[in-house]
Structure 1
Amino acid sequence: MRAIRFETTGGPDVLQAIEIETPTPGPGQILVRHQAIGINFIETYQRTGLYPVKLPAIPGGEAAGVVEALGEGVTRFKVGDRVGTTNASGAYAEASLVRADRAVAIPDGISVEVAAAVLLKGMTTEAFVRRTYPVKAGETVLVHAAVGGVGQIMTQWLKAIGATVIATVGSEAKAEKARALGADHVILYREQDVAAEVRRITNGAGVPVAYDSVGKDTFEGTLASLARRGLFVSFGNASGPVPPFAPARLAAGGSLYLTRPTLVDYIVTAEELDESAGLVFDMVASGKIEIEIGQTFALGDARKAHEALESRATVGASLLIP
């Protein structure tokens, strides 16, 4: 089968198309024949070495497709079932092995493309707005990169539960998109002082929670946007990692909290995984969240996909199609 592999860390040019043997599922595993593969920023972090992985490596964890073979003891699925996962073993390939308890059934009415585009980003949103900080109706929330993959889903989810969303984007075209998604206030972070605008919008109070996937470039503005005892949810490094800082800064900012959550700790058991995925699929099926697949790339064009992602040229979700 075809796969994308990198043997050294570096830029998108280290991604190489190769041919490898199709794996055979072991006990408790399923072989999933991919029909769509989700592209996420975490793969760029692994490729550059920011998140170390064992080399050589086939990137990717999110994919959707059809169960082609079952390992010993698997009863959760049968051959031919449509499944999605965020835990594939090397998803940038035509097929991958997945632990059966790390895959979820794709319900009728949800396409494999939408499943591959929404699972990781949607469950991340579910975990962060329901469990990291249970956002309540009427609360005002700051969302950075509001028209990115997670940002689009998060903005719509927050609006569905009655929150007021302050969105940051990098251009007027993206500002229009954020408003169409339901954002109540939009800040052009390249042109405006984010913290000053947040304070103006909130009459000086700041926000109780801010979701920041950008990292280094937005860290200071996010910190200065929080209300007393506010929570900074840092979950990405699109502009680079946040530099070290003294914990005393949290005290000086108003007894603030900062967390660096990752989805894996919110879907530890099969029951947690099924519940989270079910809530995501329900939001999509109900029409409360629309999934925009902004761009698709052939599997062999993974390098172009990473270039587009890192240049912030993408809107919504990005997919590789085998």
Structure 2
Amino acid sequence: MLYAAAEIIGEGGHMRGIRFDGQGTRQPFEVAELAEPVPGPGQLVVRTEAVGVGIGIVRMLAGGSMPSSGPGGEMVGHVAAVGPEVTGYEIGDRVGGVVFEGLYADAVLASPALISLVPRGIDAGDALSLVRGGLIALSVLRAARFERGESVLVTAAASGTGHLAVQLAKALGASRVVAAVGSADKADFARSCGADEVVTYSGESWGEPVDVVLDGVGGELVQRGVDALAPHGRLVAFSAGGGTVDAGSLLGELKSVIGFSIGLISRRQPELVDERRAELWALLAGGALRPAATTLPFDRLAEAVELIESRRNLGRVLLRH
């Protein structure tokens, strides 16, 4: 039996946590009373306002390795306890970021290296959309060496990260943004995010070549994205879906493929993460970003998982307390 609580260190109070009965996406996800985590050296306890539901939990439930205390992911909340050897955070600070396990509970153990301060007054759902999805979207544009006036194609354009990548490309001066989606019923949503054109994965053509492709799907779409590039175009691959590329398709028109990992940047360049999150808060405050999310109560994880598994989500899916 797995529980969505972080490792218990010492004695604390009680909290709610979602129980995971092994594998499978159709389990009941019952809410149980659990012991509240107590921080050890280098740890914080964060009392969560909102937590994300993404493809990672679906993959774990479908047969991937599950942490002993349940899946991790994005969260936004307030610091409730500060462990030894932690500096820079105080009880009551509003923070957001990622935890690797125990996400689906009232309180989680977090590493200071994987979170940052969230401005007060920002809606918890908006903050949750930006702390990781927005950070990835902005960072892949930077990794592509995107310049104002260039054209951009975004795959998984209706996803939590993809819809923000569409908005950011427009906000940062793209001349043309193409949204690639799995089905035509997502076209209106993609256009509402600022896409100039919408194409489907199964479509024969993705239109005129583009300067930049941001691929969050992987698999066969990586080569499809390379084929959609104009001369000197750059594709950034940031999906766990893998994929292969014919090197010959890069040579004649000097195209390039760039791999991207937000985890590596977070570990090696934390100051860059803080800078980019500050940029995202400013874009949100100025109205250039409009995160879209399906928000459900904490005890409706099963419904959230089904939305992700069926690929019916438009924007982020999150649970709120």
| TM-score class normalised by the smaller sequence | 0.7 to 0.9
**Which residue does 2:235 correspond to in 1?**
232
Q: Alignment length, in residue pairs?
A: 305
Instruction: Report the counterpart of residue 44 of structure 1 in structure 2.
Output: 58
1:209 aligns with 2:218: no
Q: Distance in 1 between matches of 2:120 and 2:156?
A: 31
Matched, 1:96 2:108: yes
Structure 1 residue 54, shift from structure 2 partner: 5.1
Which residue of structure 2 aligns with residue 133 of structure 1? 144
Deviation, 1:171, is: 4.2
Return the match for 1:121 from 133, 157, 160. Answer: 133
The verdict on how the C-alpha distance between 1:156 and 1:4 changes in structure 2, with shifts beyond 3 A counting, is same
2:165 pairs with 1:151: no
Equivalent residues of 1:223, 1:232 under 8 A apart:
yes
Q: Which residue of 2 aligns with 1:291?
A: 291
Query: Is the counterpart of residue 261 in structure 1 residue 273 in structure 2?
Result: no
- For 2:30 and 2:120, locate their aligned partners in 1 and report how far apart those are by CA, in whole Å: 35
Whether the 8 Å CA contact 2:99–2:109 is kept in 1: the answer is: no
The 5-angstrom pairing of residues 1-322 of structure 1 reads 1-6=15-20, 8-13=22-27, 17-49=31-63, 52-53=64-65, 55-87=67-99, 89-130=101-142, 132-163=143-174, 164-190=176-202, 192-193=203-204, 196-198=205-207, 201=208, 206-216=209-219, 218-236=221-239, 241-243=241-243, 245=244, 247-251=246-250, 254-268=253-267, 269-293=269-293, 295-322=294-321
Q: Quickly say closer, same or farther: Cα 1:249–1:289, change in 2 above 3 A.
A: same
- Deviation of the 1:44 alpha carbon: 2.3
Give a deviation string over 1:208-253, Cα, whole Å, max 9, x none. Answer: 321122233534422321233433222235xxx345x465354467
Equivalent-residue separation in structure 2 for 1:234 and 1:12 (angstroms): 31
Task: Summarize deviations over 1:5-25 as a string: whole Å, max 9, x none.
Answer: 546444353856444321101
Secondary structure, in 3 states, of the residue corresponding to 2:319? strand
In the aligned structure 1, how far is the partner of 2:189 from the partner of 2:299?
Answer: 30
How far 1:137 moved relative to its partner?
0.9
RMSD (Å), alpha carbons: 2.5
Cα 1:248/1:134, change in 2 over 3 Å: closer
Query: Equivalents in 1 of 2:154, 2:181: separation in Å?
Result: 9
> Does the aligned pair in 2 maintain the 1:29–1:71 contact within 8 Å?
yes
Q: CA deviation at 1:174?
A: 2.2
Aligned partners of 1:292 and 1:246: how far apart in 2? 32
Question: How many angstroms does 1:280 deviate by?
Answer: 1.5
Query: C-alpha separation between the residues in 1 aligned to 2:133 and 2:259?
Result: 16
Superposition deviation, residue 146 in structure 1 = 1.7
* TM-score between the two structures when normalised by the length of structure 1: 0.84
Q: Matched residues in 2 for 1:105 and 1:301: separation?
A: 28
What whole-Å deviation, never above 9, does each CA across 1:71-95 have from its counterpart, x for those lacking one? 1133312111211112354212111
Instruction: Tell me, in whole angstroms, the C-alpha distance in 2 between the residues paired with 1:246 and 1:234.
Output: 11
Is the CA contact 2:223–2:246 (under 8 Å) kept in the aligned structure 1?
Answer: no
- 2:6 paired residue number: none
Q: For 1:289, what is the secondary structure of its paired residue?
A: coil
Q: Higher helix fraction: Structure 1 or Structure 2?
A: 1
Tell me how far 1:321 sits from its aligned partner: 1.8
Supply the AA of the counterpart residue of 2:27: D
State the alpha-carbon separation in 2 of the partners of residues 104 and 12 from structure 1.
34
Relative to structure 2, which stretch is displaced further, 248-257 or 63-72?
A: 248-257
1:140-184 per-position Cα deviation (integer Å, ceiling 9, x unaligned): 111112222111111111001111211123444422222222112
Deviations 1:268-311 (A, max 9, x none): 24423321221111111111101122x12233322221111121
Q: 2:206 is paired with a residue of what secondary structure?
A: helix
Instruction: Give the aligned residue type for 1:36.
Output: A
